[in-house]
Amino acid sequence: MSTSGRGLHGRVLETLGPAITAGEYPPGSVLRTDELAQRFDVSRSVMREAVRVLESMHLVESRRRVGVTVRPKAEWNVYDPQVIRWRLAGADRPHQLRSLTVLRSAIEPVAAGLAAKHATAEQCAELTECALGMVANSKGHRLEGYLFHDIAFHRVILNASGNEMFARLGDVVAEVLTGRTRHEVMFEDPDPAAVTLHVRLAEAIRAGDAGHAEALTREIAEGALHELDILAP
């Protein structure tokens, strides 16, 4: 499930990363490696490795004679899956969820259009299978089953788009959908209209109708954005 946690430095990151992304240390805050090493009861080497990772995510900057300073939020590598996970686990989870949903609304329609052109027969079959799975789990509070097929559905489209940048957003979409199901809305069965849209989208892609696929995905995205507006207008 979670990527890090392997090794001592991973253990440190698991608490330091979320703390920084949660804004616990305001931008400009200065940390010292030695002090951190003591606090986490690890050697300086381990601490240095952790700091290097944070630095590569642009969360902090390490300078001689100064220490490890926290960078302003605007400079963070917000596309780093680890950073996304930390932020989704923290206080500004709603804000982050909205940002990511807007991102999805921009990416997925274009990806679906490309998928209609490039999807292999196998991918089309998989897509139909996912859509059927969504239908089968759309009634009777079978949210986990629905979520599973929903994630797979969107992942197949992103992969089928043939664009590696799109494909790598599969994990992000998975996080957003999971978060929505488990923590935010969706206490009852999913919107039947959304289910129908997914079925029709699978069909449009199978038929190679790029324009239709793009339009249908825009409708799905509209629905997702609307859901957020209901929750936090």
Partner DNA sequence: GCCGAGAAAAAGTCAGACTTATTTGGCACA
Partner DNA sequence: TGTGCCAAATAAGTCTGACTTTTTCTCGGC
* Residues of this chain that bind a second copy (CB under 8 A): 9, 45, 48-49, 52-53, 55-57, 73-74, 76-82, 99-100, 102-103, 105-107, 109-111, 114, 163-168
In the complex, what is the shortest distance from the CB of residue 210 to a second copy, in angstroms, rounded to a whole number?
13
Residue number with CB closer to a second copy (19 or 135): 19
Total residues contacting DNA (rule CB under 7 A)? 23
61 DSSP assignment: E
Q: Which one of a second copy, DNA, none is in contact with 111 (Cβ closer than 5 to 8 A by kind)? A: a second copy
User: Cβ closer to a second copy: 42 or 114?
Assistant: 114
Q: Which amino acid is at 132?
A: L
Which of the choices a second copy, DNA, none does residue 166 contact, using the CB cut-off of 5 to 8 A by kind? Answer: a second copy
Cβ distance to a second copy smaller for residue 59 or 131: 59
In the list DNA, a second copy, none, the entry touching 136 (Cβ below 5 to 8 angstroms by class) is none
- A 10 A CB-CB count for 132 gives 14
Question: Please, which of residues 16-75 interact with DNA by CB under 7 A?
Answer: 31-34, 42-46, 48-49, 51, 62-68
Residue 39 Cβ vs DNA, minimum distance, rounded to whole Å: 12
Q: Which of 2, 3, 5, 7 binds DNA (CB under 7 A)?
A: 7
Alpha helices in the chain (DSSP H): 8-21, 33-40, 44-56, 81-88, 93-118, 121-136, 143-160, 164-167, 170-182, 192-207, 210-231
Across 133-159, b (16+ Cβ under 10 Å) vs e yields bbbebbeeeebeebbbbbbbbbbbbbb
Which does residue 128 touch among DNA, a second copy, none (CB within 5 to 8 A, set by kind)?
none
Beta-carbon contacts of residue 47 (< 8 Å; ≥ 6 apart): 9, 12, 33, 34, 36, 37, 40
Torsion of CA 167, 170, 173, 177, to 10 degrees: 150
Residue 65 touches which of a second copy, DNA, none (Cβ within 5-8 Å per kind): DNA
Torsion sign, CA atoms 111, 114, 115, 120: negative
- CA pair distance 2, 88, nearest whole angstrom: 13
Binding footprint of DNA on the chain (CB under 7 A): 6-9, 31-34, 42-46, 48-49, 51, 62-68
